[in-house]
Chain A
Amino acid sequence: MSTTVQSTTATPRKILVLGATSGIAEATCRIWASQGASLFLIARNGEKLAAVAADLKTRGASFIDTAVADLDDTDKHPELLAHAINSLTGMDIAYLAHGILGDQTEAERDFNTAAQIIHTNYMAPVSLLTWLANFCAQRHSGTLAVISSVAGDRGRKSNYLYGSSKAGLSAFLGGLRNRVDREGVTVLTIKPGPTKTAMTANMPKSEKFADPESVAESIVSAIDKRKDILYVPFQWQPIMFIIRNIPERIFKKLNL
């Protein structure tokens, strides 16, 4: 009995996933796995990474390899990325999903906490993307799909450290896209709204929270369509348009 199901591509796509144990990344990888993709997964926690890898293998990934690594350690990035691509024997998509919410209250008191958020959410992706963009540009192919956040569209008092790190990331991705588009490389900026994952486990849930499964479906589709920017769920696009355009004089009085 055949175990491959609904393989949509003739040759399995080679996908590198950074932050593979994040809720959104895991849901996305399940779709790719069921399509028979080849996956190289990187995450910090070996036990969780092994659980994710077993799940994806069972769901039909044609190849899985993993590396346990702390992506905050930017010095190790070139070696780590070269190893991953070597293991995959190439790379069609790099998917950056690692990040931390951080403790906003603590970050207001303590710069080290603030710096940690900025390092993990901005500095580390910049390091990874510099290497990955140059790799792709040289080969004139590849997609870099990166999870930023709607929180990066405007700073709010409840999470402006997280938000500003994502704002920096979104701006960086815009510039990078502008640079590598002519080299045949696609850069997708993913801006999810609040999603029901481990990252938000302790937040009171409202109807606004999206399921990681539906967010993942939109991400896979946006990558296939070579989109530039994805708000997900899509309602966040008009909402953030309004929020971005509220005059600062009014905005500073609001409790958002």
Chain B
Amino acid sequence: MPDAIETEEAKQVQAPFESWGRYPTYGAKLLPLHWQSDFPAVTAGLHNGALPVGMGRSYGDVCLLKDGNLLVTTAMNRLIAFDPETGLLTAEAGVNLAQILDFAVPRGFFLPVTPGTKYVTLGGAIANDIHGKNHHVAGTFGRHITQFELVRSDGSRMLCTPTENPEFFAATIGGLGLTGLISWATLRLKPIVSRKIDYEGIQFHGIDEFLELTNQAKDIEYTVSWVDVTSTGRNFARGVFMQGDHSSRKDDLIKSAKPKLIFPFEAPGFALNSLSVSLFNTAFFHKQIHKRVVALQDYEPFFYPLDKVLHWNRMYGKRGLLQFQYVIPWEHAKEGTIAILQAVAKSGLASFLAVLKAFGDVPSPGMMSFPKPGITLALDFPIKPDKSFPLFQRLADMTLELGGRLYPAKDAAMTAPQFQAFYPQWQHFAQYRDPMLTSSFWERVTSNS
């Protein structure tokens, strides 16, 4: 077999690498890593910076490096060890959550934390310290990582755990891929006895009802809400509160050929073909005819309704889309969310899918992690350069005033002063950065010119 990776730089492939938002787009050299030993040899002799990337599901520019070298880790996806007693899975960082689920679910295990897509690598999940619908009980993904190996561009390898190289452990969780290459990591999976989720969907009108439902659902593992951001007046901030637990009744762990249960509202697929955003939101709300819907459903539609529609990001066209996700602390949660929703409604830039969720107080292990106690709202907007960015600036300033912060994985717009105010620890974090690694995001938010 040829060690093709070792051939000279001249032959390396230059290609555009899109983030999930399809904005911005930058050319970069793609250097696939197939083996743990490929890095840092593959970057020897390169001068213009590098960045490890996985599936490219971040929205903005945290996974981009203009005119640089992207170290694509997706072929580095081997499992290393699994202990069915403890649920500890050790795997190379390029393995993605879909591959982990394919392995784990038939064995009676599930991801401890999952975002709304399963097309995220293990390394990417750590580097963005992702969160899920169970943040209020489980905290972030990084909390369930017991150890990983960090490879630096000078060739040194470091075992990182909460007690060994703890500062690099903290810097790398939520460290946006800038501290080195995560070559492998150990993740603690959680036991399940069924593929199914005991699901309940409840309509609400307004933030008060949302907060009340959140309060009632404290002991329910998964909660998330979809909010209609297009309606005003009586219908302002109406939505559907969705909650669920892993079914405790022993049932199939292996996927049946045909799904037996139907998603109680097929909103996402429907939405993507809809031309009218507000029509969609109204339909979404009323699709659930009853105030409460109870169902037993497979985990896939519950967690990953949009994954069925591959490349749904393309519906936003060539200009792409941008998510805007903030967290604001409890003290300002209610009036802040209302103020921001009003600003969005007023702007006329409607968001298709607005997702509202309460973060719990389980601390993140990461130095730069996004989640903190309070309310988080994610909005996605098609990009209209003259309109979107002024709105984003306004929303970012509001978030800052409310004591909140924005999520780098979803950002392409915050300014350097905004970022540095959201994450005042950034200069401390910068000490742990690998000198060779950088990203377009990092260049943008740390340049003070």
- A interface residues with partner B (beta carbon < 8 Å): 1-3, 5-6, 19, 21-23, 43-44, 47-48, 51-52, 54-55, 58-59, 98-102, 196-205
Contact = CB atoms under 8 A, between A and B. Distances in A.
A101 B2 contact: yes
A6 B90 CA distance: 22
Given A101-B2, A201-B34, A204-B15, 6 more contacts: A5-B254, A48-B35, A51-B78, A198-B4, A198-B5, A198-B34
B1 A58 contact: no
Report the 7 A-B pairs with minimum CB-CB distance, sorted nearest first: A55-B78, A58-B79, A201-B4, A198-B34, A5-B106, A202-B11, A55-B79
B161 to A, nearest CB: 20
B13 interface: yes
Contacts of A6: 106, 254
B34 A23 contact: yes
Nearest to B76: A51
Interface in B76-100: 78-82, 84, 92
A201 to B, nearest CB: 4
Main secondary structure of the interface of B (DSSP, over half): mixed
Contacts of A23: 34, 75
Interface string B208-238: 0000000000000000000000000000000
A47 B3 CA distance: 13
Contacts of B82: 3, 58
B1 A200 contact: no
Given A3-B107, A5-B107, A198-B34, A58 B81 contact: yes
Nearest to B82: A58
Contacts of B165: none
B106 A1 contact: no
A70 B242 CA distance: 57
B7 interface: yes
14 contacts: A1-B107, A3-B84, A3-B107, A19-B1, A23-B34, A47-B37, A54-B79, A100-B2, A101-B4, A196-B75, A197-B34, A198-B5, A198-B34, A199-B4
Nearest to A44: B1
Interface in B1-33: 1-5, 7, 11-13, 15, 32
Contacts of B1: 19, 21-22, 43-44, 98-100, 198-199
A67 to B, nearest CB: 15
Nearest to A55: B78
A91 to B, nearest CB: 22
A205 B72 CA distance: 14
